């Protein structure tokens, strides 16, 4: 911490720790944004609009099955 004073070192350590936490929070937010963009693009590529899991769970059965079949059909051909 470039100091001989324990009190100053503790203050600096707290700031360094907060900076590290903030950096990791920013990284996680970036990863979440990329994951969302990938899910959105995948839904669009398969001809669906992106919906949250909560909204998918409330879809009419026929539309829900259509989505499930699109995913499983794609997986069988991979």
**Tens of pLDDT along 22-67?**
888 888 888 888 888 988 888 888 888 888 889 999 999 999 999 8
Same structural domain, 55 and 39: no
Dig out the tokens for 50 from the structure.
């992106």
Count of the separate structural domains present in the chain: 2
Same structural domain, 30 and 61: no
Decide: 35 and 44 in contact? Cβ < 8 Å: no
Residue 76 has pLDDT above 70, yes or no: no
Same structural domain, 4 and 40: yes
Same structural domain, 8 and 36: yes
Same structural domain, 30 and 62: no
Same structural domain, 54 and 34: no
What does the pLDDT read at residue 78? Answer: 56
Residue 69 domain boundaries:
49-78
């Amino acid at each position: 911490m470039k100091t001989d004073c324990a009190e100053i070192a503790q203050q600096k350590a707290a700031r360094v720790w907060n900076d590290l936490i903030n950096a990791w929070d920013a990284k996680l937010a970036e990863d979440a944004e990329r994951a969302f963009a990938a899910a959105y693009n995948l839904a669009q590529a398969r001809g669906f609009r992106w919906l949250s899991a909560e909204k998918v769970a409330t879809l009419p059965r026929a539309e829900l099955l259509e989505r499930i079949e699109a995913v499983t059909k794609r997986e069988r051909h991979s």
